[in-house]
Amino acid sequence: QVYDSDCCDSVLLELREYLPKYFGVWSPPTAPNDTYLKLEDVTRKFNKPCIMDVKIGQKSYDPYASAEKIQQQVSKYPLMEEIGFLVLGMRVYHVSSDSYETQNQHYGRSLTKETVKDGISKFFHNGYCLRKDAIAASIQKIEKILEWFEGQKQLNFYASSLLFVYEGSCQATTVQLSDVTLAEKRGVPKGLLSGGDILEYNNNIHVINSTENGKIEASVSKGLSKFYALHKKAYSKRHHSQLSLKVETLEKDSVWKSSGCITQEHLNGNVIPQLEKVFCHMPAEIKENASVEVRMIDFAHVFPSNTKDEGYIYGLKNLITVLQNILDN
């Protein structure tokens, strides 16, 4: 209905924004009577996608469920009614080890009211730091979905999920390290870049041609000066890949060299994970919005209604509260 070419219902048309795109139906040659929805791969644009599936709502059984089905669903996660959501699984990319950590539904069902905040924060921690930019962007996306639910009274969703995806890696791995400058941007006008360099957006950082061979300039915030001062001894003991990190300040759409910039640091091992560590520690307020997707999935149990979907709304609000608490702390 939502993707029907004749659809003119404004509620359903807006719902398109929050679902994976629909590409019709498909049947496998070996089982022509089995019909599947063909849906967009929401992770397709990400290099190292971090993925979490969260079931939303106070009830995971529909209005026509048998007593046996209701008991079965409630026993799986008795806290569903009180919390309003359930983590069904996650996969998180850790930049330090270049590997994924996965958690299944047993992990989600083990979470209590006291541990659910820490349980969800694990999804946004990449082994170095908490990705507050991804949390903030996720909250904004959920709030848009909440607005849709607050404004419609024709559909109720049961046992449906939100799919969260964010970029776990800075994608500078696709460019040659000896010939790039990594520059953090906060609405920097093109004219301020020397030599008319063209910015190419690459997930929270901009890759521009470098005029200095063999050096990487990371244009980051003043706050990093302290971070580097604390770590300077540790890094200076390890030689290997020589990386010139010049700390620059970004303020009010202008860029200039900081007089107190760090001359040189010797970073050990893989340059990219170290750079990702640097960008992680940038204050969230100067970061570009993280590349994040939040989509509604698994909506096989949707029923017509003449009231707001209070169970789903309750779950969304609770989830926003938990994410906001993680962000604030």
Please tell me the distance from the alpha carbon of residue 13 to that of residue 26, in angstroms, as a whole number: 23
Q: Is residue 47 part of a domain?
A: yes
Q: Are residues 27 and 119 in the same domain?
A: no
Q: Based on the fold, state whether residues 31 and 48 are members of the same structural domain.
A: no
The verdict on 19 and 136 lying in the same domain is no
pLDDT value at 204 more than 70:
no
- Does an H or E element contain 165, and which? strand 160-167
* 19 and 163 assigned to the same domain: no
Q: Is the predicted pLDDT of residue 215 greater than 90, yes or no?
A: no
126 and 162 share one domain: yes
Q: Tokens in use for 36?
A: 């599947």
In one-letter notation, the amino acid at residue 270 is N
- Is 121 a member of any domain? yes
* Residues 54 and 155 both lie in one domain: yes
Sort residue 97 into left (φ over 0), alpha (ψ -120 to 50) or beta.
alpha
Distance CA 85, CA 60 (A): 9
> Shortest CA distance to 52 belongs to which of 325, 314, 319?
319
Assess whether 24 and 76 both reside in one domain.
Answer: no
Half-sphere exposure (Cβ direction) of 213: Cα atoms closer than 13 Å = 0
Question: Which CATH number belongs to the domain containing residue 133 in this structure?
Answer: 3.30.470.160
* Residue 325 scores a pLDDT above 60: yes
Give every CB contact of residue 226 below 8 A, 6+ residues apart in sequence.
Answer: none
Specify the length of the chain in residues.
329
Tens-digit pLDDT profile for residues 177-202: 333 334 333 344 433 333 333 333 33
Does one domain contain both 8 and 106? no
17 is a domain residue: yes
Give the pairing of strands 265-266 and 180-183: unpaired
**Is residue 205 pLDDT above 60, yes or no?**
no
Do residues 47 and 93 both lie within one domain? Answer: yes
Tell me the whole-structure pTM to 2 decimals.
0.67
Same domain assignment for residues 52 and 135: yes
The rounded distance, in Å, linking the Cα atoms of 162 and 295 is 5
Stretch 135-164: mean pLDDT, rounded? 98
Number of domains in the chain: 2
Binned at pLDDT 50, 70 and 90, residue 28 comes out as very high
* Residue 95, pLDDT score: 93
Residue 195 located in a structural domain: no
Residue 130 lies in a domain: yes
Q: Answer yes or no: do 60 and 27 share one domain.
A: no
CA angle 285, 205, 188 (to 5 degrees): 70
pLDDT digits (tens, 9 = 90+) for 51-96: 999 999 999 999 999 999 999 999 999 999 999 999 999 999 999 8
Closest C-alpha among 110, 136, 119 to residue 52: 119
Instruction: Decide if 104 is inside a domain.
Output: yes
Please give the share of the chain, as a percent, with pLDDT higher than 70.
63
Let me know: does 91 contact 163? Beta carbons within 8 Å: no
Please indicate, yes or no, if residue 256 is contained in any of the structural domains. Answer: no
**Could you list the residue range(s) of the whole structural domain that residue 68 is in?**
42-171+290-328
Residue 248 lies in a domain: no
**54 and 141 together in one domain:** yes
Q: Is the pLDDT of residue 259 over 50?
A: no
User: What is the reported pLDDT for 329?
Assistant: 86
